[in-house]
Structure 1
Amino acid sequence: MKRWVVALLITASLVDISVTIADESPRSETANSESHANLVHWIRIPAGTYRRGFASNDRNENRFHFDHPYSNRQNFKFEKPAHQVEISHAFEIAETEITVAQFREFVTATGYQTDAERGDGALGFFPDQDDYVDRFQTASEITWRKPGFEQSDRCPVVAVSWNDAQAFCRWLSEQQGVRCRLPTEAEWEYACRGGTQTWYSWGDQPDDAYRFANVADGALETAYPNTTRYARAVNLNADQGDGHVFTAPVKTFEANSWGLYDMHGNVWEWCQDRWAEDTYDRYLRDISRRDRADFVLKDPLFEEKTDLHQYGDWRVLRGGAWTCTPAVTRASNRTFAEKSGASVYTGFRVVREVAPATSRKDAS
């Protein structure tokens, strides 16, 4: 089970979307404080409706694979069936992933210890192993403070669990006097797409990832040969690609159309929802196929426990990471990890609720 989950995460479309957005444009706001955490730049995302997931027909899958000839073959079963989703309230989402500096401020203020620090460490990167999956192993020395590679204060914090992200959100809520939380995966995909109908927020071309995302590329392959053999971009020469071996400082690459950075690549991002591989089927099972085109799912947050949860409390991850081919970072892609687990390719960003606040409680 554990090996399979690791392989899925590190190797983890033409999406037929129609987007209806309220008469409100995304805008940037900054909290009024000199502290790092309160200097989160928030982008206001308007309420609206969009089509979530991967359009389920062979033509779309064949086109995706044709346009990604150097990437490992993708499986879209977790992203189907595509369906209309309404985000009924505007919300604010952090312009970037939470950084090392911002997380350090939280730890300094609270004395918090992460799951990795209190346990057996996080999943780290050990490139000397012959087997690709074995290159990612849990080790006690791997924590957010020492992930095994250099990070600046502006890099996204890694080796943090879902539990750690929740603790940060609770603290930030107290600092700002407004509820801060992880995004639902419906909010995450809506924000990532930024009103687009394409596989990525920038369009359908995987090579354009180098302008918008930190992905597995020539820099990683040159530093550690054979690391990208299952996560391969088109160009693998040292001077091609995004130029970053591991995490990149936030805002290194271009933002999407709504002003959000690193929604694709850099680190996988935790969402509130529990994981189920058939989440979308569960929502639509009582809706006839004839009626699905007109059905709109309002503010979904999946919290059910499935058979898989007897092995742990699995939570959704979105966006891909520095370990991933561009194909894996597509807007509709979904994967998961246990909520106490942490890795050097996983971080998070935060949502701040906009009045009137919803009454929905944190997932537990």
Structure 2
Amino acid sequence: MRFAPLSLLISLSLLSFSAVSQDTNTVTAIENDITLKQADFDSFTEILNKHLKDESQQQHQLDLLRARSTKLEKEKNQALDAMNALYRRLIEDPSLDISDTKLRYQNAVDSHKTNKEDIAMQLASISAHRKDIEKIRIDRHALLNTLEGLKEQKNTARVERLRNEFNRDGTLEIQNTINCKRTETLAACEQRGQHLGMQKATKRFLDQVFANLTEIRLVEPKRNSAGARVQVLNSHVVNSGFSGHGNYDVNLSVTMRGDANNSRLCHLLNLDNRFCSEYSSSFQSIYSPQQSSNFTGNVRFSDPVTVSTTYPEIEKKSQTYNKPVVNILNEPEIDYTHELTLRSNVHDDEVFIDGVSYGSTRLSVQLPVGIHDIEIRKLGYNTFKKIINLSKAQTLKARLVKNKSHLVSKPIVETQISNISVPGMVVIPAGSFEMGDITGNGLANEQPVTKKILSDSFDMNAKEVSVSQYNSFAVETNYVTEAESGKGCAYYLNGEPVWEPSLNWKNPGYEQEDDFPVVCLTYNDAKAYADWLSSTTNNEFRLPNEVEWEYAARAGTTTDYSWSNDIGSNQANCGWCGSEWSNKSSSPVGSFSANQFGLYDMVGNVWEWTQKTAGQSDVAVRGGAWNFAPSLARASTRLILSTDFRANYIGFRLVKER
């Protein structure tokens, strides 16, 4: 068999071009915003570093003034002693000249007084400078969250652009020539020629779709796993005929639409699957050409497919028919999805397929043909992981093995002491870990990575302190928070923290129930609760220090999150994390799975105060929040705030000394 050269003309619809152009403009606009915000963030960082350097110099000058004050105090006392001694001698010798001694004392007093005034002025300068630093930090944190949010939007726009680029419509005109076999009829030769022409058209159309992808360099190496497909919308024979040498020539005009397996789009762009979780396949019946240049495989068409089907005579030019090719050829259809059945030896597990949660076993799900990552997780068990190549219906039986490591601990049931509800605690075992930005995805203040050793175990709240628990403290002690007595509480508006006098822990600006995490509290508000709980229960409760917090959040892992380096979808309450509360409000404590230590919401929900380091005026909050980007909810992320800051996205949990 021989083929004549193909003459091709592809005309993509204006609608497709317009949509793709709009997608590209959207991505470009977001990229421009990211560039501008990154420049602003770098500028804020530079200004902050300068202010911190100035503060350090001012503090050094204050230390010098205080050291000088000690010397001047000593000089003043010595001058006073000398003058007193001369006064006693003056009683016996009135002619004694004491002017020099008196002048010495006067100078000592004046110098000491001037130094005290300098100290007061320096403290006032440092205080004003500190307020500037606090504002710069808060604005910088807000800008950082805006920047990370733009990156989330950009990735979403990239996926949508790629999806639309695959979904282009186009019309292709193709000329194909074949040599009729001696054993086949003219009608059979005509059918085969048109069929092969359709195969050529769909393959060439798909080649053109790939060639016009904006991110072709990223996608092309993964072309075979893209799940790219073509739907034939309409086709007709422009002209056709037989030659005297037994050749059949046909000129086909085919209108087609491309498509790709939407669950693979993130794989093609090297993105977390959460960006693709909202998409489902556009077509149920589509034609999926092989990647080979010689096309002989079975095909499957979806209605409407129209080609010339009348024989042995050849129809006139540009005549259209409405009978599907698949019925003519009577060839078997190709299936593009198969059923995967999953079983395990435990109950209440969670199944993740390509990073997306599908619920618990026993589970049966239709999946596209190809490679899939399977994970089955349950607290207290080692995660079952397997990569499968789904080419037919398959049943996978997973056996989860109990994690015998000392890392797994069981929550202590919430108890009542003196009518006070004591939050449930879990035992955090002694151990060591690498603290800081292990994966290289973090901020400058997460470096350097250092090894930390915790020689003793401790107890930690399994969940963040709730509204009802804090209410017990406030009612019994008549405690008034700083938000209630001051200028209120901050909330995010258009990417910036705004102070609202009416907001406080009882009214954080969104609807909350008793089991929501308490927010709008300063560091001192949280510490006051810990001190009260300690005195009430005769146990020592306090905020965790940063080492304890990160050790507990990692729970023996070295990834950004306790389950992986990708946040996934609906596994935590943070901005753009796929939960029903994301970018809306906090969620009830314990709404998501616990980590390997049995701790809930160490990722997202609300930032958590940690213990202030001796000698430092600022303190770190950890863990991310419902309105902060996933990249800011990693185990090592740190935000530094002043102790009097409060917002409706900051709460806390406690540790108890054992």
Higher helix proportion (structure 1 or 2): 2
Equivalent positions of 1:1-364 (< 5 A) are 1-10=133-142, 11=144, 25-33=408-416, 38-55=421-438, 60-61=439-440, 64=441, 76-125=443-492, 127=493, 131-133=494-496, 136-208=497-569, 210-211=570-571, 213-217=572-576, 241-244=578-581, 245-273=584-612, 302-305=613-616, 313-354=617-658
CA distance in 1: counterparts of 2:487 and 2:656, whole angstroms: 32
Contact 1:194 1:256 in 2 (8 A): yes
CA distance in 2: counterparts of 1:36 and 1:347, whole angstroms: 24
Runs of 4+ in 1 over 2 A off after TM superposition: 1-12, 21-27, 34-39
* CA offsets 1:279-313 (integer angstroms, 9 cap, x no match): xxxxxxxxxxxxxxxxxxxxxxx3233xxxxxxx3
Are the structure 2 counterparts of residues 77 and 101 from structure 1 closer, same or farther at C-alpha, using a change threshold of 3 Å?
Answer: same
Are the structure 2 counterparts of residues 23 and 156 from structure 1 closer, same or farther at C-alpha, using a change threshold of 3 Å?
Answer: closer
Contact 1:22 1:47 in 2 (8 A): no
CA distance in 1: counterparts of 2:487 and 2:506, whole angstroms: 14
CA distance in 2: counterparts of 1:102 and 1:53, whole angstroms: 32
- In the TM superposition, residue 4 of structure 1 has moved relative to its aligned partner by 3.0
* CA offsets 1:224-253 (integer angstroms, 9 cap, x no match): xxxxxxxxx6xxxxxxx1011210000111
Alignment gaps of 5+ in structure 2: 1-132, 146-403
CA distance in 1: counterparts of 2:590 and 2:489, whole angstroms: 25
CA distance in 1: counterparts of 2:591 and 2:405, whole angstroms: 30
Q: TM-score, normalised by structure 1?
A: 0.69
For residue 214 of structure 1, what is the amino acid of its counterpart? N
CA distance in 2: counterparts of 1:315 and 1:162, whole angstroms: 8
- In the TM superposition, residue 23 of structure 1 has moved relative to its aligned partner by 5.2
SS at match of 2:472: helix
Higher strand proportion (structure 1 or 2): 2
- In the TM superposition, residue 32 of structure 1 has moved relative to its aligned partner by 3.2
CA distance in 2: counterparts of 1:185 and 1:328, whole angstroms: 16
- In the TM superposition, residue 24 of structure 1 has moved relative to its aligned partner by 6.9
Are the structure 2 counterparts of residues 54 and 87 from structure 1 closer, same or farther at C-alpha, using a change threshold of 3 Å?
Answer: same
- In the TM superposition, residue 44 of structure 1 has moved relative to its aligned partner by 0.4
Are the structure 2 counterparts of residues 318 and 8 from structure 1 closer, same or farther at C-alpha, using a change threshold of 3 Å?
Answer: farther
- In the TM superposition, residue 337 of structure 1 has moved relative to its aligned partner by 1.3
Structure with greater Cα Rg = 2
* CA offsets 1:24-67 (integer angstroms, 9 cap, x no match): 75232135317885341100001111110013xxxx53xx4xxx
CA distance in 2: counterparts of 1:117 and 1:109, whole angstroms: 17
Contact 2:407 2:597 in 1 (8 A): no
For residue 50 of structure 1, what is the amino acid of its counterpart? F
- In the TM superposition, residue 205 of structure 1 has moved relative to its aligned partner by 1.3
SS at match of 1:29: coil
SS at match of 1:151: coil
SS at match of 2:611: strand
Q: TM-score, normalised by structure 2?
A: 0.39
SS at match of 2:619: strand
Are the structure 2 counterparts of residues 152 and 198 from structure 1 closer, same or farther at C-alpha, using a change threshold of 3 Å?
Answer: same
Are the structure 2 counterparts of residues 304 and 109 from structure 1 closer, same or farther at C-alpha, using a change threshold of 3 Å?
Answer: same
- In the TM superposition, residue 331 of structure 1 has moved relative to its aligned partner by 0.2
1:230 match: none
1:223 match: none
- In the TM superposition, residue 341 of structure 1 has moved relative to its aligned partner by 1.6
CA distance in 2: counterparts of 1:265 and 1:36, whole angstroms: 31
Alignment gaps of 5+ in structure 1: 13-20, 65-74, 218-232, 234-240, 274-301, 306-312, 355-364
Kindly indicate whether structure 1 or structure 2 has the higher relative contact order, using CA contacts under 8 Å at least 6 residues apart.
1
SS at match of 1:164: helix
- The percentage of counterpart residues that share the same residue type is 34
CA distance in 2: counterparts of 1:140 and 1:5, whole angstroms: 21
CA distance in 1: counterparts of 2:134 and 2:407, whole angstroms: 44
CA distance in 2: counterparts of 1:88 and 1:8, whole angstroms: 36
For residue 252 of structure 1, what is the amino acid of its counterpart? S
1:277 match: none
Aligned Cα root-mean-square deviation (Å): 2.1
For residue 609 of structure 2, what is the amino acid of its counterpart? W
SS at match of 2:565: coil
For residue 580 of structure 2, what is the amino acid of its counterpart? G
For residue 201 of structure 1, what is the amino acid of its counterpart? S
CA distance in 1: counterparts of 2:420 and 2:601, whole angstroms: 18
